[in-house]
Structure formats: structure tokens, C-alpha cells
């Protein structure tokens, strides 16, 4: 038992807990990474571009639809939204909705 405890201690010292969890690398998690360059890692923006983390899937997808049909004013997002398939957008939106 003592050895096990020492082993665990050694592991803790060598590998302190990473502040981010290594969740399953789902397609949505990877695809959402392509948005992070502008919207922040995991959709948490540190600039004036909006955060996406924590918004509902429906809200995110309806905004994307509005950008695509031109009813939502914007500079760049409509152009980018048209590059992703509906299925990819759903996976991305579900990932951001799951982020707190």
C-alpha cells in the first residue's frame, strides 16, 4: 500500500493535473477548433468578437441561418458560414452549447 501511495505521489509530482480536461476528441470538438482562431479557445472570446461558449444549439444555428440568408448584418461571418455543411455546423453548435 505504501508503495502504491508513493507511486501515486510520484505521478502527481510528475504530472500535475492539467487545467483542461482531455475529453473525447469528437468531430464537433475538432471542427469548433477552426472557429477558435477568432472566437477564442472553446468559444471563449477575449476580444470584441462574441463568445460562442454556452449559447444554445438552436440559438447558434438560427444565427448562422440568418447570416447565410443575409437577414443578419455582418462583415465576414456570412462568407465563412457558407463554407461549412449543415451537419458540420450542427456538430460545432452542439460543442459550443456544451461549454460553460
The residues, ordered by sequence, that sit 6+ positions from 72 with a Cβ below 8 Å of its Cβ are 63, 66, 78
Instruction: Choose which of 1, 4, 71, 100 interacts with other proteins (CB under 8 A).
Output: 4
Q: Where are the beta strands (DSSP E) in the chain?
A: none
DSSP state of 50: P
25 interacts with other proteins by CB under 8 A: yes
DSSP state of 17: P
29 interacts with other proteins by CB under 8 A: yes
Sites for other proteins among residues 80-99 (CB under 8 A): 80-84, 88
* Cell numbers standing for residue 2: 505504501
Q: How many of the chain's residues bind other proteins (CB under 8 A)?
A: 43
Footprint of other proteins (CB under 8 A) = 3-4, 6-7, 10-11, 13-22, 25, 27, 29-31, 33-34, 36-41, 45-49, 75-76, 79-84, 88
Amino acid at each position: 500500500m505504501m508503495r502504491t501511495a508513493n507511486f501515486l505521489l510520484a505521478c502527481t509530482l510528475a504530472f500535475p493535473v492539467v487545467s483542461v480536461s482531455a475529453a473525447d476528441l469528437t468531430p464537433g470538438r475538432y471542427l469548433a477548433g477552426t472557429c477558435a482562431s477568432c472566437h477564442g479557445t472553446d468559444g471563449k472570446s477575449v476580444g470584441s468578437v462574441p463568445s460562442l461558449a454556452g449559447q444554445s444549439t438552436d440559438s447558434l444555428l438560427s444565427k448562422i441561418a440568418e447570416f447565410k440568408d443575409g437577414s443578419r448584418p455582418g462583415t465576414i461571418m456570412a462568407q465563412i458560414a457558407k463554407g461549412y455543411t449543415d451537419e458540420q455546423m450542427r456538430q460545432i453548435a452542439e460543442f459550443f452549447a456544451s461549454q460553460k
